Amino acid sequence: MPIPMDQIANMPAFSPYYPMPPARYRQAQFQYVFFQADPAAIDRVLPACFEPVEDGLCAAIGISIPWSANYGAFEESVLTVPCSYEGQMGYFTPVAFLNSRSSIPAGREIYGTPKVAADITVAMDERVMFTDTQVAGASVLSIRSTMHKEATVEEMPVLQPAWRLKVIPRADGPGAEVMQLIDVSEVTNDVNVRVCRAGDGVIECRPSPIYDLSDFTPRSYAGAYYVEMDYTERYARIVKDFLE
């Protein structure tokens, strides 16, 4: 009997490449460094549906996932920038680097997260946590921070709404078949925060012929945080379908 069309979530149809949400994560480690960047750098990576804001914090995020029910173990680094959409202040992620085979297509196809493959190391060197992201053997984003201060998640800057632009190209010619503004603010549920700490952090962005973030050299820093938690990743919300 052929596979019913309404039962196909992703391809291959007979054995989908990745499970659909929900996805459970345990002991996920998040490293945040907040900083001010050149407004021209932010403007360069914003799709035209967003407006740049005069003042706002960017975040460089290093992530270590030791266990995920849907995707296994992997590491990730993310850049998030401030912007506004129809007068509402929020945040857009222009790029996310991962070393996961299944999480990359899942993130792109479900949520529109701009995930790309990279070599990533997340580790501790004495009291400094570091996330190094390499593309073609060269570092494109380096994050380093401490966690020597007590903190709570309520003290952290709130990076919401958290927007993605989901784009899937046409098969019959140039252009997009899907172009949707997605808000992933409500994706994370059933959260159990194990650890929250604060400290100081720095980032370094080096030139690259692709995914070049070198113009994001920080003008100033606004602290760093470390969060370790368990959570469940569910579905997002479609804010706008630009092709309707």
Q: Is residue 180 part of a domain?
A: no
Q: Is residue 11 part of a domain?
A: no
Residue 40 reports pLDDT greater than 90 = yes
pLDDT confidence tier of residue 76, bands split at 50, 70 and 90 = very high
pLDDT in tens, 170-216: 999 999 999 999 999 999 999 999 999 999 999 999 999 999 999 99
Q: Is residue 209 part of a domain?
A: yes
pLDDT at 4: 95
Q: Answer whether 0.75 is exceeded by the pTM.
A: yes
pLDDT at 63: 98
Q: Is residue 150 part of a domain?
A: yes
Q: Is residue 221 part of a domain?
A: yes
Segments forming the whole domain that contains residue 42: 20-163+185-235
pLDDT at 143: 98
Q: Is residue 175 part of a domain?
A: no
Average pLDDT of the chain is 97
> How much is the average pLDDT of 74-101?
97
3-state DSSP of 142-205:
EEEECCCEECCHHHCCCCCCEEEEEEEECCCCCCEEEEEEEECCCCEEEEEEEEEEEECEEEEC
CATH at residue 229? 2.40.400.10
Q: Is residue 168 part of a domain?
A: no
pLDDT confidence tier of residue 81, bands split at 50, 70 and 90 = very high
Residue 1 reports pLDDT greater than 90 = no
225 Cβ contact partners less than 8 Å away, ≥ 6 residues apart: 30, 31, 32, 145, 147, 151, 155, 156, 196, 197, 198, 199
What is the count of structural domains for the chain? 1
Rounded CA separation 143/131 (Å): 5
Q: Is residue 87 part of a domain?
A: yes
pLDDT at 55: 80
147 Cβ contact partners less than 8 Å away, ≥ 6 residues apart: 127, 129, 197, 198, 199, 224, 225, 226
pLDDT in tens, 110-120: 999 999 999 99
pLDDT in tens, 121-154: 999 999 999 999 999 999 999 999 999 999 999 9
Which of these, 133, 110, 136, 112, lies nearest to 122 by C-alpha position? 133
Rounded CA separation 157/232 (Å): 21
pLDDT in tens, 9-25: 999 999 999 999 999 99
